[in-house]
Structure 1
Amino acid sequence: MTEQLAELPFQELVQRVRACTLCADHLPLGPRPVVQLSQTSKILVVGQAPGRRVHDTGLPFNDPSGDRLRAWMGIDRDTFYDDRQLAILPMGFCYPGTGKSGDLPPRPECAPAWRQLLLDRLPDIALTLVIGQYAHAWHLPDGERSVTGNVQQWARYWPTLVPMPHPSPRNNLWLRRNPWFEQEVVPALQRRVAEVLGQTD
């Protein structure tokens, strides 16, 4: 099945992803895969899974987390939502529901079914932003055990990949405890994003 999907034209593969119902029985609001990508995308943003607001609007990072992420990147909404520039592929494509302390983890079926198939179709990615523990686990298999440990090692992966904390307001305490992230990593990230998008002078 994977080999058959790999042979599909790109747009047909994306249509299959957006029509996926693999986890339907486990999703409280039903399936609504939220992804953004084109074969010319230069930056890949890897988050966890859509939240409720993203599920309702169908627009990735259309929430306070997205506002902070765009500020960290130094770009506006128009640039962020231009799939010719940015691909956005969370670890789980659908809203997984809410637990006692926030949204549930991404559904485990999603990444094995689709992730590598889509990554293989993004030949122009020059920078990948890896956000949060589930994205770290997939994209940094030899990384540290904690998000903090990986983010502290950001220079190890530079300039093609940046391990990042989640930009959620729930992470405000982490950001206060780790001011070096916004003092050191964010300015470097903004310069790199501008370079990749051809926005430097």
Structure 2
Amino acid sequence: MDSLLSEIRACTLCAQRFAQTETGHAPRPVVRARPSARLLIAGQAPGTRVHASGQPFTDASGDRLRDWLGLQPDEFYDETRIAILPMGFCFPGYRKGADLPPPALCARTWRARLMAELPHLRLVLPVGGIAQKWHLGVKTGVTQTVAAWRDHLPGAIPLPHPSWRNTAWLKRNPWFDTDLLPVLRTRVREALDGEPDG
């Protein structure tokens, strides 16, 4: 795992692509994982604040996600228990003022190798459509996939992105708060607090 993480953190495969975005930034892969992790948060890609800080979910989205999970920051950032692996490890940049999707090249290059190094996962939380398609093999959109969250228990619970942009979605789908979140918090605690594997 250490060797693989070093390779990822040195990755520049998308340098030319990022240089051509509105931000013209250099790659800065943001990834947190240890082989002992029991919970995987599979996000989309870092935003500008995460690109600057080098730590995932250091923004309002992270505050909302931690609330959803019922976790304080010290537990959320304990990489011996929680792996945070977005589908694209670098901020993909803007074009016409909107976030670009994570380059598919990132997942094709690194994801299977990383997943092979995480043998103790008990719960996967795919956040957003790209992560849900990769981890769950679904072809439905985010709303349909998250609405069918029970179909993926006990090993996974799909989530919408915790961005402020999804506040209207959360209001339109009150079942997310009333039905899904209590189960999510229970499954997170079970994954993190259960007896060690093996």
Counterpart for residue 42 of structure 2: 46
Counterpart for residue 117 of structure 1: 113
Between the aligned partners of 2:46 and 2:98, the Cα distance in structure 1 is 12
Counterpart for residue 2 of structure 2: 11
Q: Deviations over 1:108-160 (max 9, x none)?
A: 2100000000000000100000010111121122x242101001111011111
Partner of residue 180 from structure 1, selected from 175, 179, 184: 175
Moved over 4 A (4+): none
Between the aligned partners of 1:150 and 1:81, the Cα distance in structure 2 is 27
- The answer on 1:171 being equivalent to 2:163 is no
Between the aligned partners of 1:61 and 1:34, the Cα distance in structure 2 is 10
Between the aligned partners of 1:130 and 1:12, the Cα distance in structure 2 is 25
Counterpart for residue 21 of structure 2: none
Q: Deviations over 1:78-97 (max 9, x none)?
A: 00111011001100000011
RMSD between superposed Cα atoms in Å: 1.4
Residue 101 of structure 1 deviates from its aligned partner by 5.8
Between the aligned partners of 2:139 and 2:103, the Cα distance in structure 1 is 23
- Letter of the 2:45 counterpart: A
Alignment of 1:11-90 (within 5 A): 11-27=2-18, 28-90=24-86
Alignment of 1:110-149 (within 5 A): 110-141=106-137, 143-149=138-144
Q: Deviations over 1:12-48 (max 9, x none)?
A: 1110011100111111311100000000011000000
Partner of 2:2, secondary structure, is helix
Between the aligned partners of 2:14 and 2:95, the Cα distance in structure 1 is 17
Partner of residue 94 from structure 1, selected from 90, 93, 96: 90
Counterpart for residue 189 of structure 1: 184
| TM-score (structure 1 length as normaliser) | 0.91
Between the aligned partners of 1:185 and 1:78, the Cα distance in structure 2 is 24
Between the aligned partners of 1:101 and 1:162, the Cα distance in structure 2 is 31
Whether contact under 8 Å (2:133, 2:139) holds in the other structure is no
| TM-score (structure 2 length as normaliser) | 0.93
Gaps (5+ residues) in structure 2?
19-23
Partner of 1:90, secondary structure, is coil
Partner of 1:78, secondary structure, is helix
Between the aligned partners of 2:113 and 2:165, the Cα distance in structure 1 is 32
Give the length in aligned residue pairs.
Answer: 190
Identity of aligned residues (%): 49
- Letter of the 1:172 counterpart: T
